[in-house]
Structure 1
Amino acid sequence: METQNISIAILSNNLHHATRDKKNCLRLNVKNVLISDELEHLLQPIQEDEVHLVLIDSAVKGMDGWSCLRALRKATRSKLLPVIMVTAESNLQNVVKAIAAGCNGYIIRPYSITTFERHLQMAMETTSIDEVEREQLDVANELVSHGRFDEALEEFSEIIEEENESLLWFNKGMDYLHHQKYGKAIIAFNKAVALNSMYAEAYKGMAHAYKGKGDIANYQAFLDKSAEILALQDRLAELKELFAEILEANPDAINPYNSLGIDLRKKGDYAGAMHAYAQALALTPKDENLRYNIAKACIFAKDYAQAIEHLEKALTIRDPFPEAAQLLAKLRAKQYDQIASSPKTVANEAGQGSLTMDV
């Protein structure tokens, strides 16, 4: 691993741990190591890109490591900064909490220098933009700085013409998390963030190229696209946190995506709910309560045709299913104003083996 040109920050309220971590960083020929027991003391060098990787212990001054990680992510929202938890906490719930908070690696104390190096390398490699695309972004940005805007736009366009697979990697990460494959989950989430960041940077570069050409309309349009991607990144981070909470409450859940869909629907995030339910369908496509739940999300999103389709499928799986039949009848009669005031229900005896119903 090439470490001669990187700086690492260590956050820990345990002097023994911090000293050991620094010693191992120096054994790997890291150029510079900063140590503090308080996040605020290291924020400036981190925000000014003087730090290339952060190690966080299970506790720092005034907060636990997971809270510190969340605060760091909030303060460095747009930065692709690898952060590794280095902790004696090996409980699986703590690992899930760290992944949900946005860690890019998880090292359990005591560790060997080989393990330490491997995790550092993995975190840096999987959070980095592909070398070819990184070079293309650098070339394009340099062209903008030299006023060669059309050439820059051509370079940026080549990057964004490929499909953004960040959501695909995010879904893989959620699936790995569900199946307790934590190392794979971390790598998948790292790749999702790296891809999303690359697209955000490309759109931002295009915006500046258009600004250089005097095309203010496209300048604003591509700035908005960049902002949309960063907003998606924030939303996916929130989704991951909520999913982790569901897994923590019921680690043996057959289909935690159903619970996620219910929670998101109740929060008014209908698009998010439908995305969660799509994942749920892949696991249990013949669950009548899941079909009922999807129908409710469709109704709130005013997609009545899809709601009818899912209710019909629910009734082919289980009949009688009074709740689904009642809802379907109102939809077919276009009594949309009465749907919201329908009485709350719970899964009846015939559906007890099924997933939780959205009530």
Structure 2
Amino acid sequence: MSAKQNIGILVGEPCVPVANIIAKILADNGYRKIAYSTDRDEIFVILKKRETDIALLDFDLAVADRFELIDRIATDRELYHLPLLLMGRGASAAMVAEALRLGGRDYINKPFTPYLLMVRIEKILFGPREPIRRTIFKEKGVNGPDATHPELTPRSEHVTLQIEQARKLYEEGLNLLELRKYDRAIAKFAAAVRVHMLYPEAYVGLAEAFRGQGNLERWGQFMSKAAETCAWLDRDAAASDIFAKTRKLDATAPNPFKTVADHMAGQRNASELERLYTRALELDPHNDAVRLALARVHMEAGRRDEAAGVLSQLSSRGDVPEELRELVLSVTRADARATASTGARVDFIETAAAFDGPEKRRVKRIPLAEYAARLPQREQNFHMIDASALGVSFKHGGESFEIGEELVFDLVSMSGVKVRKMGAVVRRVTPLVVGCELQGLSQDQKEQYAGVIPCDESGEGASG
């Protein structure tokens, strides 16, 4: 018999249909010892019996009357360590943060999928133990446990038995795997993940057993599941390593951080989604779907410049979706207005012409759509935006450039190299564009560059 049947769960949900859905999800996953209540006093009485391993509480119920229920639980010497999973519907970020600070372990937004609910529950029950927050004792003037000694969240006997049962099944599977008894090993590993769904080592065991049978498709599926599970458990390095191994044999393997972030869509947790999609993009920088997802999360969080920066590589290829194109254009316009307000010129730059002495003149910036700057040290071509007598601008495509960075580049076109090894220094970086001042050009380079820039409207070239 699985120890799950003895793990106590309290559901404090005033909406009966929602409570019934939660009960079915728990029963389908092997949990049987479930108590229900919609009254705060009754919830506290049930918890005081100390038969509950985790409480699932409706957010409004938990925070009513200035967090009265959370306070009572968090300041009780017998209950302060009890994990609380709060379930809300569109609660404000500030309220959620305060509820978690006072004693809640996690928050999940309604509606949620059965998979997401079970991941959050089993991460709390079987995942890494966390330090217990005790600030509430001091704030409320309550004598609590000695805060000078770190204390991790305890596990009940039933939770510990469940973990040990999963580990025993996993070790039996490993022994069978070494003996190449693949069918029996698969059965053991599968039983382990039924007992403990967030067990990445067991998924790796399943993958290796299927590979032993020559089934690489199933190997890839379970390796991807192992990587995803590591991402759920915040084991980012392990998730990245497993993903890298899987991608060597399966180019279609899903990005684990994107998978987790996609499951959390609609959870109103912008900071966590930004973290996950950022990790996903670091792991797979050429994945346009990840780039678009991260840009949308930045937009929802009000970070338009970050969104435009993420989209810059797509914008250089014209791949930005219609609903996000205005974002790129608006950020570019705002950047231009900010530049103009500092005294810099957008359409013309006031400078001493580099090619004809100290004469002061207005040098028009010329669009150069057919040209690119090729930076050998970066092994990449960057699409040119415009050029003047003293400088050039090009799209950086998401690459990192620093103010003051010295560059050497070839000015190239479809017909070949126009000017080789031009020197420049980075003077301006925006989410889309790098602006550089030319420096150290030889006379030959100046003449070649002057031949590239077309005449302005008055018939004069850039060099006068």
TM-score by length of 2: 0.28
TM-score by length of 1: 0.33
For CA contacts below 8 A with separation 6 or more, give which structure has more relative contact order: 1
Between structure 1 and structure 2, the one with the greater Rg is: 2
Bigger proportion of residues as strand: 2
Bigger proportion of residues as helix: 1
